[in-house]
Amino acid sequence: MKILHTSDWHIGRSLYGRKRYDEFSAFLDWLAEFIQTESVDALLVAGDIFDTSTPSNRAQGLYYRFLCKVSASCCRHIVVIAGNHDSPSFLNAPKELLRAMNVHVVGSITDNPVDEVITLTGPSGIPEAIVCAVPYLRDRDIRIVEAGESIEDKNTKLIEGLQRHYADVCRIAEEKQREYGEIPIIGMGHLFTAGGKTVEGDGVRELYVGSLAHVDKDVFPACIDYLALGHLHVPQKVGAAEYIRYSGSPIPIGYGEATHEKSVVIVEFSNDPQSKITLHPVPCFQALERISGGFDEITERIHELKFQTSNAWLEIEYTGTEIAGNLRELIDEAVADTAMEIRRIKNKRVVERVISRTCEDETLDDLDVNDVFIRCLDTCDVPEDDRPALIQSYKETIQGMQEDDLNA
């Protein structure tokens, strides 16, 4: 059986206000063709299908057209789990209809772990693999809040809750395996494991407040023959375990990912559960380039790209020693009559000079939600001793807002 593992599509995401639907469409067209060319039997999508919990009509159209196209191909099964960016109720809404096309959607956990165990069958209906399709586990799914508990207590409960849930789901899978014979058990998940690599600007959120941002691979039961993970955008294996992998995002989410090769994972099982794992590169559908340096370095690189007839979207960071107040006009002139677009210009010298006086030129693009709260604490002269508890409470509030299902 040949399985393709992908995740973190983030359909609908913008880049500094620029819509990227053409990229998402090109990727999904490529993926559908690749599945057909490689004779893939099952597709696993490990969360963050959409970038927001309320995707646009166009984002939804791309998703559903892709599912229809692939379900009519050689691919017999599609398994989709929700990530932390997805709305569980939105993904679950058409699940009964999609099941008729052998598309299995798990948006959230239920009272019965058997709902997360999916048997993949061959053309003759004989079971070939068992999937433990565990979606993103929200804090409230796996931990009961108690008055007076410490941060360490919360973290211990989260670890135990994650481990217990995977154990419950995999126990059911093992029962099915004993019934069906020696077929592989494939796990899915959307979380942050210890040692995971991230890059600047990738938009990867801290999933759990406190020190438990990352879970150890020992949380997962030993019966899993391959674990398809989502959440981290850099393709990587977990520790030294070849069979526990993040496929990574298929298109660069930000400029920090622009130089990374994107990929999908093909996992092949023969007559035994031992898998053969191969990474396949995903083409670049829209070039992104960050140019940093003085004005001469920036214009020289722009001219090189112009000579290559590049259509790259550019992020410019001016680090020259001289103040260049008219930097925007000069760069706009340099890219005139080309297919390149300027998505962002950071004039570090002007920003540093202004911020040192008034902070008026700083924008929210330069801050995250935690930075803003720290500024509020500074403005209100909150004593240092009072800050840890306030910051902890603030982070829990932000996490709760991010996990609210607006479609529920």
- 10 Å CB burial of residue 259 (0-12, 13-18, 19+) is exposed
Instruction: Provide the CA 154 distance to its chain's centre, in angstroms.
Output: 25
Instruction: Provide the CA 370 distance to its chain's centre, in angstroms.
Output: 20
> How many residues in total does the chain contain?
408
- 10 Å CB burial of residue 362 (0-12, 13-18, 19+) is middle
Q: Calculate mean pLDDT across residues 105-122.
A: 95
pLDDT band of 203, cuts 50, 70, 90: low
Q: Tell me, which fold does domain 2-281 have in CATH?
A: Purple Acid Phosphatase; chain A, domain 2 (3.60.21)
pLDDT at 150: 72
Q: Which of 113-122, 145-154, 229-238, 370-379 has the lowest mean pLDDT?
A: 145-154
Could you give the 3-state DSSP secondary structure of residue 240? coil
Q: List pLDDT tens digits, range 35-93.
A: 999 999 999 999 999 999 999 999 999 999 999 999 999 999 999 999 999 999 999 99
Q: Tell me which amino acid residue 33 is.
A: E
Q: List pLDDT tens digits, range 295-351.
A: 889 999 999 999 999 999 999 998 887 776 678 888 898 899 899 999 998 876 554
pLDDT at 214: 63
CATH of 289-403, one of 3.40.50.1980, 3.50.50.60, 3.30.160.720, 3.40.50.200: 3.30.160.720
* Domain residue spans of the chain: 2-281, 289-403
Q: Tell me which amino acid residue 404 is.
A: D
Cα Dmax for the chain: 73
Q: List pLDDT tens digits, range 335-393.
A: 998 999 999 988 765 545 544 444 545 555 566 677 778 878 887 778 887 777 777 77
